[in-house]
Amino acid sequence: MSDSQSTNTMRDEEYRGRLDLKLWGRIFGHTRPYLKQVIGLGGSGILLAGVETVTPSLVGLVIDEASMNGMTGRLVTYGVLYAAMLLFMCYLIWYFIVMAGQVVTGVGFDLRRKGFERLQELSFSYYDRHSVGWLVSRLTSDCSKLSSLMPWFCLDICWGLSLLCGITTAMLFRNWQLALMVLAIVPPLCIVTAFFQMRLLGTSRNMRRTNSMITSSFNEAIMGIRTTKALVREEANLDEFQVLSTKMHDYSFRNALHSAAYLPMVITLGSLGVGLALWRGGFLYDSAAAARTLGVSDAEGTLTLGTLIAFMQYAALFYMPIQELAQRFTDVQNAQAAAERVQSLLDTVPEIQDTPEVLAAIASSNGNGDSSMPLDGGDEVIKSIEFRNVSFWYKEGESVLDNFNFRVHAGQTIALVGATGGGKSTIVSLAARFYEPCSGEVLISGVDYRERSLHWLQSNLGVVLQAPHLFSGTIRDNIRYGRLEATDAQVEEAARMVNAHEFIMEMDEGYGSEVGEGGTLLSTGQRQLVSLARAVLADPQIFIMDEATSSVDTETERLIQSAIEAVLCGRISFVIAHRLSTIQRADVILVIEAGRITEQGSHEELMNKRGRYYTLYTRQFSREREASVLESSENGRSA
Amino acid sequence: MLYTDPRSVIRLDGGSLVRVFVNCGLREQQQPLHKRIRRLERLVWWIMLDKARKIWKLLEGQRLRYAGATAALIVASCFLYLAPLVPQITIDGVIARDPERASPFVKRMVELLGGQSFVADNLWLPCVLILGITGIAGLFTYFRGRLSAKACETIIRDVRDRVYDQLQHLSCSYFDKTETGDLIQRCTSDVDTMRNFLSMQIVEIGRAMVMLLVPIPLMLAIDVPMTIVSVLLIPIVSGFSFVFFIKVKHAFKESDEAEGAMTTVVQENLTGIRVVRAFARQEYECEKFEQKADAHRRLDYRLYYILAWFWSSSDLLCFTQRGLVVGAGAYWLATGRLQVGEYFYFITAVNMFIWPVRMMGRILTDLGKALVAFDRLNEILDAPRETMPTPDETPEVIQGEIEFANVTFSHVTSKEPVLHDISFRVEQGKTLALVGQSGSGKSTIVNLLLRFYDYQHGSIRLDGRELKHIDRQFIRSQSSVVMQEPFLYSKTLRENLVIGRPAAGEDEMMEATAVAAVHESIIDFDDGYDTMVGERGVMLSGGQRQRVALARALLADPAVLILDDALSAVDAETEDMILTALRTRRGRHTTIVIAHRLSTLLHADEILVLHHGRVVQRGTHGQLLGQKGLYRRLWHIQTSSSAASDDAIVPGTTTSQAAENAPA
C-alpha cells in the first residue's frame, strides 16, 4: 500500500465488518519472537484446564471414600494430592501472568518501535493527511490494545477449549448417560452467549461513537466559549448536548441491561444442568443402590454419591469457558479497527526512499571508509541546484507548480516572494526532497537527486522554520541537535555567531536551562535564535529559511537579522522572505504566483520593471515603516 | 489554623496532607501524644465524612433506585445460596437412603416436599426447584443490574449536563487561567472514572458484603465448626489484597509516568518531524524513542511480575481456604459429623463468596482514584459562575447609546491596568472606530462592553443605564460581535448563520451573506448552505470564516454591532465591497469598529487612537488628519503604498482572495 492511499482509514475510525482473518494472522505474526512464551501460555492454559477438570472428580473421590470407608490412609493421600494440585495451579497462574507480561510488553515495544521507525521514513505527504494527535494514539493506545489482547487470547482459547473437552471427556468416562444429560445444556448456552455478545458488541460500539461525540462537544464548548456567550447560545447548546448525553445514557443503559441479563441466564442454564444431573443421577444412584442390595453388580448402573456431586460441579462450571471464549472473540472484534490502523501504518511504503542502486552504492562505499555518514560515492560538495521542468501537485489536476525551471549556484541566496499558497513552500520542500517532483527533475551538481542518498542530502540541510520547533531538554541539547558530536565550546561558538549567547547567559541555568515542551519556556524570538544556532552548528551546504513574520520586539528582530546574515554567508540559501533587508541582499529574487515564476532578477532589476515585485516591495515597505512609527511613538512616550 | 477548620485541608492532595500531619506534630510538640492522635483522628474523620457526604449528595434522586438495587441484591443472594441446599437435602434426605442420619432440618424439608419415597419417585421435583430458585435469583440479579445501571447512568448524565452547563457559565477569566486540555480531561476521563465507580465499584463492594453475610446464618444452622473453618482466611484474603495494592501503588504510577514520557517523545518527534528530517536525525530519534519505550516496557513488565505474585499468592490463599473446607469437611464426613449433602453445600458456598472477597482490596484501592476524579470535577462545579444579578428593571429593547466614563480596568492576574481612564460616547446608530497596535486595549473595550469582564473603576452606560445592572445575557442578545478569529459551530453553514435569529427567512439570510460577500463562496461548495463546517465537513479559510461570522452578526440585526478586526483575513478588494454594502445599513446599528487598515475607518463618526490603554488622539478622520500625530503618520504610510498597489498581494499576514481559493 502506498502512503497516499491510506487516507480513507482515517475517517473510518470504527471498523464494522466481519472478522478479517488475514489481518489477524498478520497481527499475531508479531508474536513470533515470543513463540516460546506463547507456547508456554497455551501450555499453561491446557494444564490449568486439566487441573480444573480433575478437582471436582477428586472431591467426588474424597466424598465416596469418606462416606463409605471413614477415615482412611487413602483420604490422606487424596489430601496431599489435592494440596499438590493447588500449589501447581498457583504456580501455573504465576507462570502465565509472567509469560503474558513478557508478550504484552515485548510485542507492544516491537509494534511501537516498528511504527516509530516507519514514521521516521514516511514522506511529508503522509503527515499532511494525518494529524499528530491521530498518529500518537496509533502508537500508544492502539498498540497497547493489540499487545494486551494477544497473550490473553492465546491463553483463554487453549484453556477454554481444553476445559470444555476435559469436562466432557471426564463426564463421558464416568457415566455416559448422565454426561449426555448434562451436555444437553451446551447448545442453549452457546446460543444465548452468541446472542448477547452480538448485542453487547453493537451497544458498546454505539457507546464509543457517542462518547467521542461528547468529547468533541466539550471541546467545542470550551473553544467557542466567547462566541457562545456573545450569541447567548448557552441554553441552545445545553439542549443539544442533552440530546447527546441522553443518547449516551440510553446506549450505556442498554449495554448494562444486556450484561445484567446475560450472566443470570447462563447461570440458570448451568443450574438446569445441575438439576438434570441430580434428577437422572439420583435415579441411577437409586437403581445402583437397589442393585447393590440385590447383590447384582451392574457396571451400567455404578454411580456413587461422589460422582453425582462431581457431575453437579461440572454442570455449574460449563458456562465459564464458553463465556470466556465468547469474550475473547468480542475483544478481537472490538480491536479490529485498531489492528487495521496499526498494520496499515506498518505496511505503508515511504514514497521517498533510496533506490536499490543508491543503497548498493552506500553499502559499497561504507565498506571502504569508516565514515558514519552513509555516503553514496557521489560528489560530496554541492555546486548547484537546478529545477528542470518541475511540476508538482498534491492532488491530480490541481497543480501547485507547473513546469518550473531555475538554477542556483553555491554561495547564492534565493529569495522567494509572493502570496501565501503560491507555491513558495513547495519549492523549498522539493529542494529539500521532502517531496519529489511529480514530473521533471531536480538536479544537484548536475545529477538527479533521486540517484543520490536521501540521508546525505538531508544531512547537508539547515532549516529554520517560521515557527521554530525545539525539543524538550536544555538549550545546549537543542543547539547540539545540529551536530551531535559538537563540544560545548562549539555549541557556544554557534550561539555567539547568531547573537544568542547573551540571552542564554542571562538565563538562570545558562546553556543548561530547560526550554520546555516545544520550547514553550522561551519567547518566539529566543526560539528562533536557538534554532538558528542549531542550523549554524550543523554547518549545512544548503540553508532553508522560512522567515518569520510574527512580531518580535525590535531588539530581538535586530539580533535575528544580523544572525541571519551570518548564517546565509557562503551557502546555497533559499529564503521565503518578508523582510526587505533579506530580500534586497538576495542574489536572485523569484516572484512566485500560482505555481509559476512571474518575475526573476535582482532587486534593482525588478524595481526598475515596476511590476509585481514593485507592488509587493512598496506594500512591505509601508508595513515596516508603519511598525517603526508605532514603535517610535512608544519609545517617545516611555522616554 | 488547619486544626480549627479541618475542611480546609480537604482540598489538599495526599502529599500536603502528610505535610500537614507532620507540621501539626512539630508545632504542638508540647501536647500529649494521645491528644494529638485524637485530633488527627478527628481530621481524618472530617475528610472521610466530607467525602461520604459529597457522594451521598451525588446519589440524590437515585437513592431509592440504589436502595432497590441493594434489596434485589440481598434477595438474589439469598436465593443463590438456597440453590445448593436443594441438592444437599435431596442427597442427604432422599438419595442417601439413610434418613435417620439426616438432620432434623433436612427431614422437615423432605416432609414438606411430600416424603422421602415420594421425592425419590419424582426426582424431577428437586430439579425444577433448583431451576426455579436459580431462576428467581437470576431475575433479582437482573433487577439489581437494571436498577443500579439506571441509577448510575442517570447520575452520570446529570453530571455531564451539569458540567457542560457550568462550563458555559464560567467567567472568561476562568478560561484565561485554565488549560483546555486539562478541562477536557476532567470532563471526559474523570467522568468515566466516576461512572466506573458508580456502576462497578459501589455495586461490587455491596455484592462482596452481601455474598459474605447472607450464607453465614445458613452455614451456622448447618454446622458451627465447619462455618468457622469456611471463613477462617477471609480477613487475611481481603486484608492481603488491600495492603498489597496500597504497597504497589507507586509501581502503577511509575509505569503510567513512563508511558507518559514515551508519549511525549512521540508527540515531540511528530510535531517536529520537519526538523528531524532537516537534520537527518532519524536514527538519533529512534534511539531516543527506544530508550523511553524500553523504560516503559521494563516498568510495565515489572507491574506484570508484581501482579503475577499477587494473583498467584492470593489464589493460593483462596485455594487454601477451599482446601481447608474440603479437608476439614472430609474429616468430619469420615467421622460422621457431616452429611454428604452438607459437605457439598459448604464447598459450593465457599466457592461463591471467596472470589468477590478477593476483589475487594483491588476495588478499595481503585476507590482512591474515583475520589480524586470526583474532587477534580467538583473543582469545576464549585467554581464561581458569571454572576447574573436579577436586573432592577430589564429594558424592553436597547437603543444602542454607549457611554464610557473614566473606565479603568486590569485583569485579575496582573496589577498593571489594561485600560486607563477611558471616556467616550457613541450616539445611537453612530460608528466609533478604535485604532492602535495590538495590546493597546482595543479588544478589552469590547470585552467590557459585552460584560465578558467587569470593570473596576469608572462607569459604562448603555442607554443611560449602568452596565453592571443590566443582565449579561440581555446585553449580549442585543449586540453582535465579529472577532478576528471567529468560531463556527460544527453544524451546517445555514445553522451557523441563523443562530443569531432563528426565525430569519431564506431571503434575509441571503441578503446578509450578500452584504458579507460570502454568498458566492458558499454556493460554490457542493452542498451550498447545507455544507457542514469543521472537522466533519469543510475547513474554511480564515477569510471565509470571518465573512460567515459577519453575515451571522448582520442577520441578527443587533442594536450594537462590533467588528473586532473582523476583516483582517479578507483581501482589500473584498473588504471595500463589504464596507460599501455596510454603509447602506448606516444608522441601523451602533457600530464599534477595530481595524488596522485606516481606510476601513474613514467614515467613522469618531476615531479613538489608543496607545497602551490610553486614548492619545480622538476626532473624525478629517480632524485627526489635520493634527500632528500617530494617526496622520499612519495614514500617510498607508495611502502612499495603496497608491502604488491595486488589489495587491501582500506577503505574510494578509491573505488574499486568490490565496484563499488556491489549492492548498
Instruction: Return the amino acid letter for B455.
Output: Y
Interface test with A, best of B158, B173, B326 (most A CBs within 10 A): B326
> Do the beta carbons of residue A464 and residue A478 sit within 8 Å?
no
* CB-based contact B649 A419, cutoff 8 Å: yes
Q: How far does the CA of residue A581 sit from the closest CA of chain B (Å)?
A: 15
Judged by phi (left if over 0) then psi (alpha if -120 to 50, else beta), residue A401 lies in beta
A13, A185, B277, B365, B458 from A19: Cα distances, Å: 16, 28, 38, 37, 70
**How far apart (Å, rounded) are the C-alpha atoms in residues A537 and A484?**
9
Q: How far does the CA of residue B476 sit from the closest CA of chain A (Å)?
A: 5
pLDDT reported for residue A428: 85
**How far apart (Å, rounded) are the C-alpha atoms in residues B627 and B633?**
10
pLDDT reported for residue B389: 61
* CB-based contact B137 A275, cutoff 8 Å: no
> pLDDT for B567-611, tens place per residue?
877 777 788 888 888 888 888 889 999 887 777 787 888 999 988
* CB-based contact A484 B280, cutoff 8 Å: no
**How far apart (Å, rounded) are the C-alpha atoms in residues A291 and A284?**
10
**How far apart (Å, rounded) are the C-alpha atoms in residues A463 and A573?**
10
> pLDDT for A64-87, tens place per residue?
888 777 777 888 888 888 889 889
- Chain A CB contacts of B319 under 8 Å are 86, 89-90
* CB-based contact B168 A229, cutoff 8 Å: yes
* CB-based contact B184 A219, cutoff 8 Å: yes
Reduced 3-state DSSP string for B78-109: HHHHHCCHHHHHHHHHHHCCCCCCCCHHHHHH
Percent of chain B with pLDDT over 70: 87
DSSP A197-214: HHHHHHHHHHHHHHHHHH
pLDDT reported for residue A105: 93
B7-16, B108-117, B413-422, B554-563: lowest mean pLDDT where? Answer: B7-16
Whether the CB of B477 is below 8 Å from some CB of chain A: the reply is yes
**How far apart (Å, rounded) are the C-alpha atoms in residues B415 and A110?**
54
> pLDDT for A297-333, tens place per residue?
444 446 778 888 888 888 888 888 888 888 888 888 8
**How far apart (Å, rounded) are the C-alpha atoms in residues A99 and A93?**
10
Q: Is 50 exceeded by the pLDDT of residue B9?
A: no
Q: Is 60 exceeded by the pLDDT of residue B14?
A: no
> Do the beta carbons of residue A273 and residue B170 sit within 8 Å?
no
Whether the CB of A70 is below 8 Å from some CB of chain B: the reply is yes
Q: How far does the CA of residue A511 sit from the closest CA of chain B (Å)?
A: 20
Full set of structural domains in chain A with CATH: 8-202+256-347 (1.20.1560.10)
Interface test with A, best of B178, B386, B487 (most A CBs within 10 A): B487
Between residues A584 and B314, which one has the greater pLDDT? Answer: B314
* CB-based contact B145 A79, cutoff 8 Å: no
> Do the beta carbons of residue B442 and residue B607 sit within 8 Å?
no
Listing from the earlier edge strand, what are the strands of the sheet with A572-576?
A461-464, A542-546, A572-576, A413-417, A588-593, A596-601
Task: Indicate the fold that domain B61-221 takes in CATH.
Answer: ABC transporter transmembrane region fold (1.20.1560)
Residue in B578, B574, B573, B521 with CA at minimum distance from that of residue B544: B521
Q: Is 50 exceeded by the pLDDT of residue A12?
A: no
> pLDDT for B38-71, tens place per residue?
777 677 677 667 777 878 888 888 889 999 998 9
Closest Cβ–Cβ partner in A271, A551, A614 for B130: A271
Residue in A517, A511, A507, A481 with CA at minimum distance from that of residue A496: A511
Question: Phi/psi of residue B357, each to 5°?
Answer: -65, -40
Q: What is the chain A residue with the closest CA to B483? A: A227
Output the average pLDDT for chain B.
Answer: 80
* CB-based contact B145 A256, cutoff 8 Å: yes
- Chain B CB contacts of A485 under 8 Å are none
> pLDDT for A378-398, tens place per residue?
777 888 889 898 888 877 777
pLDDT band per the 50, 70, 90 thresholds, residue B21:
very low
Find which of A186-200, A273-287, A619-633, B378-392 is predicted with most confidence, using mean pLDDT: A186-200
Residue B309 CB coordination number (10 Å): 15
Output the average pLDDT for chain A.
Answer: 82
pLDDT band per the 50, 70, 90 thresholds, residue B16:
very low
* CB-based contact B304 A97, cutoff 8 Å: yes
> Do the beta carbons of residue A376 and residue A358 sit within 8 Å?
yes
pLDDT reported for residue B84: 84
A504, A541, B283, B602 from B454: Cα distances, Å: 40, 57, 54, 31
Whether the CB of B260 is below 8 Å from some CB of chain A: the reply is no
What the block records as the C-alpha cell of B556 is 441578527
pLDDT reported for residue B253: 82
Closest Cβ–Cβ partner in B308, B323, B344 for A97: B308
Question: Phi/psi of residue A401, each to 5°?
Answer: -120, 140
Between residues B500 and A495, which one has the greater pLDDT? Answer: A495
Q: Which of residues 586-615 of A touch B (CB under 8 A)?
A: 593-594, 612, 614-615
> pLDDT for B297-325, tens place per residue?
999 999 899 888 988 888 888 888 988 89
User: What is the 8-class DSSP label of residue B613?
Assistant: T
Q: Which of residues 76-105 of A touch B (CB under 8 A)?
A: 78-79, 82-83, 86-87, 89-91, 93-95, 97-98, 100-102, 104-105
Question: Cα A416 to chain center, whole Å?
Answer: 36
Q: Is 70 exceeded by the pLDDT of residue A15?
A: no
Whether the CB of A422 is below 8 Å from some CB of chain B: the reply is yes
What is the mean pLDDT of the segment spanning A591-609?
Answer: 83
What is the enclosing helix (H) or strand (E) of A495? helix A488-497
Q: For chain B, which residues make up each domain, given as ranges?
A: 6-58, 61-221
**How far apart (Å, rounded) are the C-alpha atoms in residues B299 and B291?**
12
> pLDDT for A441-469, tens place per residue?
898 888 888 888 888 888 888 877 766 78
What is the mean pLDDT of the segment spanning A485-495?
Answer: 90
pLDDT reported for residue B106: 81
Q: Is 90 exceeded by the pLDDT of residue A350?
A: no
What is the mean pLDDT of the segment spanning A155-165?
Answer: 93
pLDDT reported for residue B640: 62
Whether the CB of B94 is below 8 Å from some CB of chain A: the reply is yes
* CB-based contact B259 A140, cutoff 8 Å: yes
Closest Cβ–Cβ partner in A93, A104, A222 for B304: A104
What is the mean pLDDT of the segment spanning A219-232?
Answer: 86
Burial grade of A440 (CB within 10 A; 0-12, 13-18, 19 or more): middle
Whether the CB of A434 is below 8 Å from some CB of chain B: the reply is yes
pLDDT reported for residue B133: 92
Between residues B659 and A29, which one has the greater pLDDT? Answer: A29
Q: Is 80 exceeded by the pLDDT of residue B186?
A: yes
Coil vs helix vs strand at A194: helix
> Do the beta carbons of residue B590 and residue B430 sit within 8 Å?
yes
Whether pTM exceeds 0.90: no
Q: How far does the CA of residue A215 sit from the closest CA of chain B (Å)?
A: 6
Residue with cell 445599513: B585
In b/e form, how buried is each residue of B428-455, taking b as 16+ CB within 10 angstroms? ebbbbbbbbbeebbbbbbbbbbbbbbeb
Between residues B536 and A219, which one has the greater pLDDT? Answer: A219
Q: How far does the CA of residue A573 sit from the closest CA of chain B (Å)?
A: 14
What the block records as the C-alpha cell of B650 is 501582500
Whether the CB of B282 is below 8 Å from some CB of chain A: the reply is yes
Q: Is 60 exceeded by the pLDDT of residue A275?
A: yes
Closest Cβ–Cβ partner in B123, B304, B659 for A100: B304
> Do the beta carbons of residue A251 and residue A209 sit within 8 Å?
no
Find which of A111-120, A172-181, A576-585, A609-618 is predicted with most confidence, using mean pLDDT: A111-120
Whether the CB of B406 is below 8 Å from some CB of chain A: the reply is no
Reduced 3-state DSSP string for A579-634: CHHHHHCCCEEEEEECCEEEEEECHHHHHHHCCHHHHHHHHHHHHHHHHHHHHHHH
Instruction: Please count the residues of chain B.
Output: 664
What the block records as the C-alpha cell of B464 is 443611560
**How far apart (Å, rounded) are the C-alpha atoms in residues A115 and B17?**
43
A274-278, B35-39, B574-578, B657-661: lowest mean pLDDT where? Answer: B657-661
> pLDDT for B452-476, tens place per residue?
888 888 899 988 888 888 888 888 8
Residue A80 CB coordination number (10 Å): 10
Listing from the earlier edge strand, what are the strands of the sheet with B465-466?
B419-426, B402-409, B457-462, B465-466
pLDDT reported for residue B631: 84
* CB-based contact B653 A518, cutoff 8 Å: no
User: What is the 8-class DSSP label of residue A474?
Assistant: B
Residue in B622, B631, B657 with CA at minimum distance from that of residue B524: B657
- Chain B CB contacts of A72 under 8 Å are 334
Burial grade of A563 (CB within 10 A; 0-12, 13-18, 19 or more): buried
A138-142, A210-214, A561-565, B447-451: lowest mean pLDDT where? Answer: A561-565
ipTM of the complex: 0.81
* CB-based contact A620 B327, cutoff 8 Å: no
